[in-house]
C-alpha cells in the first residue's frame, strides 16, 4: 500500500468493512455471502490490490481454526443417535458411492494422463474432502431444510473423516513402496489409529464438559464456557498433534446426545459464529492465489474436472442403485463440490513430510481451491432452489433500500422524533406466497401409518397435507391427533392417512400477498398452510411456514428502519 503498512487491528477492520460491503452486493447479485466474502478477500489480498500486509493472514490463524471448530461443533450437534440411525440408513450407501467414485476417478484420471501413482493416489484421497465451513454456512444462510440438506451434512462429515484416514494410509503405502519408511509399518499404523482415537476421546470429554456446564450454569455464561472449552481443546490438539476437525465433530455429537439444551447451545454460539465466519472467509480469500490457477496447468485441470465428475457421478450412481428420489440423484452431488480447509491442511502435511512429493500436490490443491471455493457455494444455492428446500425469498432477497431510501428513512425518523407522523409504508407489499414456498408433495391419502410416521420423521412441521391421486388437498394431519393414535396398538395397523386427516381450515395460492398469509396465521394454530394452484384441480405445490412469514416480515421491517 505505497510503503505504508497497516497494523494488524486495521487489517481486521479493513476485512470486516469490505465484507460488509460484499454482503450488500451479494444481495444485489443474488450470490451466496460466502462467495462474496471469498471474492472480496481475493480482491484486497496479494493477488489483486495487495492491501493486506505480508504475514497478517497468518496472524489470524488461531481465529480461523476457532471458526472451523465452531462450524464442526454445530454440524456435530445435528446428529443425535436416533437421527444418525435414520439418516445412515439412506446415506451410508450414498456416502460410500461418492467417496469411492471421487477417489477412483481422480486417481485413475491422473494415472491415465501419465502422472505418478504416488501423486495420483494422494490427490485422489484429498479429492474426497468437502469444505465443512463453506458448505454448512451456505445451508445455514439460506435456512434450508429437507432431504438434500440433511444428506449434505451427513456426507460432509463422512467425507472429511474418510479423507483424513485415507490420506494417512495412502501416505504410508507410498512411502512403503518407495522404501522411505523410517519406522516399522505396524508402528506407523498404530500412530495413525492412536491419533484418531485421541481425537475422539478429546471430543467426547469436551462434549461432556459443555453438556454438564450448560446444565449447571445460567445461560448468560454459556458463551464463555463454549469459547473456553473450544479454545482449550484447540490448544490440546495442537500440543499432542492430532486432527482437531474430528475432535470438534465428535464434541458436537456428544452434546447432541447428552444435553436437552442442544438447540439453545447452538443458538448461543451463533452469536459468535457469524462474526467468525465473516473473518474466516475474508482471510481465506486473501490467501487464494489467482496465478496459482494458471500455474497448476494440465494436471490441475484434470484434478478439477475429475473431482467434479466423481462427486456428482458417485452420488448419482449410488442413488439410482438404492432407488433414491430424483432430487437426491440430480442435486445432492453438486452440494459437495466446495473444498478448502481439510485438503489444504493435509497437503501442507504432505509438503512437510516429503517436499519432493508434497510440493506439486500442495500447489495443485492451492490452485484448485480457488475454483472449488468460488463455484461450490453457487452450486449449493442452485441445488437448494431446484429442490425447493429454501424459500425463494430467502435465496433471492428483494432489496429496496437504496441510498435515497436511507435519506428518506432518516427524515422519517426525525419527523417522528419531533412529533410528526411519517407516511405509511408497507413492508410486505412486494412479497408473495410464491417467494416463501417450500416444495412439499404431501402424504398420499392411502398411505399406512408406518409411511405417515416415516414422512414426519423427515419433517420439521406439526401439520402435514394429505392429498389424493390428483394432488388435491383432502385434509391435514396434525401431530397432536397422530401422537394419540401412535400409542394405540389396536389401531396402528388399520388406519391410513385419510383416517388421520382433519378438515383444511386455510389454503393459499402462489400469487397471494404476504399479508394474506399473515392474516391466516393469526387465525390458525398450525405452523404451516398448504399452497395450491389457482386452476382446477387445485394441486398441492408446497407449504408456507409461519416462521418463514414472520422472518420475511421482520427482515423487511428492519430494512425500512
Residue 398 clears pLDDT 50, i.e. is over it: no
One domain for residues 186 and 333 = yes
- What pLDDT does 332 receive? 94
User: Residue 150's closest CA among 325, 271, 273, 395?
Assistant: 325
Q: Residue 110: phi, psi to the nearest 5?
A: -70, -40
pLDDT band at 310 (very low <50, low <70, confident <90, very high): very high
We report the CATH number of the domain holding residue 494 as 3.10.580.10
Average pLDDT of the segment spanning 305-317: 96
What are the tens digits of pLDDT across the range 451-500?
A: 777 777 667 677 889 998 888 888 888 766 665 555 555 555 667 888 88
Residue 324 to residue 304: CA distance in whole angstroms: 27
311 shares a domain with 209:
yes
Overall average pLDDT of the 37-55 stretch: 87
Compute the distance between CA of residue 96 and CA of residue 542 in angstroms, rounded to an integer.
32
State whether 334 and 482 are in the same domain.
no
Q: Which residue matches cell numbers 492430532?
A: 242
User: SS3 letters for 340-392?
Assistant: CHHHHHHHHHHHHHCHHHHHHHHHHHHHHHHHHHHHHHHHHHHHHHHHCCCCH
pLDDT at 203: 95
pLDDT digits (tens, 9 = 90+) for 228-248: 999 999 999 999 888 888 899
Note whether 370 and 468 are same-domain residues: no
At 427 the pLDDT is 45
Q: 251 and 119 share a domain?
A: yes
pLDDT confidence band for 58 (50 / 70 / 90)? confident
In the chain, the percentage of residues whose pLDDT exceeds 70 is 87
Range of the domain at 173: 60-279+291-390
Same domain, 128 and 222: yes
Same domain, 334 and 263: yes
Averaged pLDDT for residues 329-333: 93
Q: In terms of pLDDT, which residue wins out, 90 or 481?
A: 90
The CA distance from 303 to 296, in Å, is: 10
pLDDT of residue 204: 96
The whole-number pLDDT of residue 317 equals 95
| Per-residue pLDDT at 228 | 95
Task: Pick the last residue of a domain from 356, 373, 390.
Answer: 390
Give a yes or no: residue 402 inside a domain.
no
For a pLDDT cut of 90, what percent of the chain falls above it? Answer: 26
Lowest mean pLDDT among 309-318, 455-464, 542-551: 455-464
* Chain Cα centroid distance, residue 538: 35
Task: Determine the pLDDT at residue 211.
Answer: 95
Which of 155, 153, 239, 170 shows the shortest CA–CA distance to 198? 239
Q: pLDDT at residue 198 above 80?
A: yes
Cell 477492520 locates to: 13
- 385 and 441 in a common domain: no
Whole-number pLDDT of residue 426: 47
Residue 466 lies in a domain: yes
**Final residue of a structural domain among 360, 390, 420:** 390
pLDDT at position 428 is: 46
For the chain, report the end-to-end CA distance as a whole number of angstroms. Answer: 37
Q: Is residue 478 part of a domain?
A: yes
Choice between 271 and 221, residue whose per-residue pLDDT is larger: 221
User: Does the pLDDT of residue 416 top 80, yes or no?
Assistant: no
Q: Which of 359, 390, 421 is the last residue of a domain?
A: 390
Q: Is the pLDDT of residue 355 over 50?
A: yes
* Residue 134 counted as domain residue: yes
Strand partners, 464: 477
Reported as a single tens digit per residue, the pLDDT across 104-122 is 999 999 999 888 888 999 9
Does residue 53 lie in a domain region? no
In this prediction, residues 325-336 reach a mean pLDDT of 92
Residues 383 and 447 in one domain: no
Judgement on whether residues 147 and 231 belong to the same structural domain of the protein: yes
Q: What does the pLDDT read at residue 482?
A: 65
Of 78 and 210, the structure prediction assigns the larger pLDDT to 210
- Running DSSP on this structure, what letter comes out for residue 243? -
497 in the same domain as 379: no
Q: Does residue 42 lie within any of the structural domains?
A: no
Give the least confident one: 253-257, 307-311, 363-367, 493-497.
493-497
Q: What is the mean pLDDT of the chain?
A: 83
CATH classification of the domain holding 176: 1.20.1530.20
528-532 β-sheet, strand order: 438-439, 540-545, 528-532
Q: Is residue 11 part of a domain?
A: no
Pair 362, 437 in one domain: no
For position 187, what pLDDT does the model report?
A: 82
Structural contact between residues 363 and 296, judged by C-beta atoms closer than 8 angstroms: yes
- Residue 93 reports pLDDT greater than 90: yes
Residue 401 lies inside a defined structural domain of this protein: no
Highest mean pLDDT among 82-91, 207-216, 260-269, 505-514: 207-216
Positive or negative, the CA dihedral 324, 325, 327, 329 is positive
Instruction: Count structural domains, the chain.
Output: 2
Amino acid at each position: 500500500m505505497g510503503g505504508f503498512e497497516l497494523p494488524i487491528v486495521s487489517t481486521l477492520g479493513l476485512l470486516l468493512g469490505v465484507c460488509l460491503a460484499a454482503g450488500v452486493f451479494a444481495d444485489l447479485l443474488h450470490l451466496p455471502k460466502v462467495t462474496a466474502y471469498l471474492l472480496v478477500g481475493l480482491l484486497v489480498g496479494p493477488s489483486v490490490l495487495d492491501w493486506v500486509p505480508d504475514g497478517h493472514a497468518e496472524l489470524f490463524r488461531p481465529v480461523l481454526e476457532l471458526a472451523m471448530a465452531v462450524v464442526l461443533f454445530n454440524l456435530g450437534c445435528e446428529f443425535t443417535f436416533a437421527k444418525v440411525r435414520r439418516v445412515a440408513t439412506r446415506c451410508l450407501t450414498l456416502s460410500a458411492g461418492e467417496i469411492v467414485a471421487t477417489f477412483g476417478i481422480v486417481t485413475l484420471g491422473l494415472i491415465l494422463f501419465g502422472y505418478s501413482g504416488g501423486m495420483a493416489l494422494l490427490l485422489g484421497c484429498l479429492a474426497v474432502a468437502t469444505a465443512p465451513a463453506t458448505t454448512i454456512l451456505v445451508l445455514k444462510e439460506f435456512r434450508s431444510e429437507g432431504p438434500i440438506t440433511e444428506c449434505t451434512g451427513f456426507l460432509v462429515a463422512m467425507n472429511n473423516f474418510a479423507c483424513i484416514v485415507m490420506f494417512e494410509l495412502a501416505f504410508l503405502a507410498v512411502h512403503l513402496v518407495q522404501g522411505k519408511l523410517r519406522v516399522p509399518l505396524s508402528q506407523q499404523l498404530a500412530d495413525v489409529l492412536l491419533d484418531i482415537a485421541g481425537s475422539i476421546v478429546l471430543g467426547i470429554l469436551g462434549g461432556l464438559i459443555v453438556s454438564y456446564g450448560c446444565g449447571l450454569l445460567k445461560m448468560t455464561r454459556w458463551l464463555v464456557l463454549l469459547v473456553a472449552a473450544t479454545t482449550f481443546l484447540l490448544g490440546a490438539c495442537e500440543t499432542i498433534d492430532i486432527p482437531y476437525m474430528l475432535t470438534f465433530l465428535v464434541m458436537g455429537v456428544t452434546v447432541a446426545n447428552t444435553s436437552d439444551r442442544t438447540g439453545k447451545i447452538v443458538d448461543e454460539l451463533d452469536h459468535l459464529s457469524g462474526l467468525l465466519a465473516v473473518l474466516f472467509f475474508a482471510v481465506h480469500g486473501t490467501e487464494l492465489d489467482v496465478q496459482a490457477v494458471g500455474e497448476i496447468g494440465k494436471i490441475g485441470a484434470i484434478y478439477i474436472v475429475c473431482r467434479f465428475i466423481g462427486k456428482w457421478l458417485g452420488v448419482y450412481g449410488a442413488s439410482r442403485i438404492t432407488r433414491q428420489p430424483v432430487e437426491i440423484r440430480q442435486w445432492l452431488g453438486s452440494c459437495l463440490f466446495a473444498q478448502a480447509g481439510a485438503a489444504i491442511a493435509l497437503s501442507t502435511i504432505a509438503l512437510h513430510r516429503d517436499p519432493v512429493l508434497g510440493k506439486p500436490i500442495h500447489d495443485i490443491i492451492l490452485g484448485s481451491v480457488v475454483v472449488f471455493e468460488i463455484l461450490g457455494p453457487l452450486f449449493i444455492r442452485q441445488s437448494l432452489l431446484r429442490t425447493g428446500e429454501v424459500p425463494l425469498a430467502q435465496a433471492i432477497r428483494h432489496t429496496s433500500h437504496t441510498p435515497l431510501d436511507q435519506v428518506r428513512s432518516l427524515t422519517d425518523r426525525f419527523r417522528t422524533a419531533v412529533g410528526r407522523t411519517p407516511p405509511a409504508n408497507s413492508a410486505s407489499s412486494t412479497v408473495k406466497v410464491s417467494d416463501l414456498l417450500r416444495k412439499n408433495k404431501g402424504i398420499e391419502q392411502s398411505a399406512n401409518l408406518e409411511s405417515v410416521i416415516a414422512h414426519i420423521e423427515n419433517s420439521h412441521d406439526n401439520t402435514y397435507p394429505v392429498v389424493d391421486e390428483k394432488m388435491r388437498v383432502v385434509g391435514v394431519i396434525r401431530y397432536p391427533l397422530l401422537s394419540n393414535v401412535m400409542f394405540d396398538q389396536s389401531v396402528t395397523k388399520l388406519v391410513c392417512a385419510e383416517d388421520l386427516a382433519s378438515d383444511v381450515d386455510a389454503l393459499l395460492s402462489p400469487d397471494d400477498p404476504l399479508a394474506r398469509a399473515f392474516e391466516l396465521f393469526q387465525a390458525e394454530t398450525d405452523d404451516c398452510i398448504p399452497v395450491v394452484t389457482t386452476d382446477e384441480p387445485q394441486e398441492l405445490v408446497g407449504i408456507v411456514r409461519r416462521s418463514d412469514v414472520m422472518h420475511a416480515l421482520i427482515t423487511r421491517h428492519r430494512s425500512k428502519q
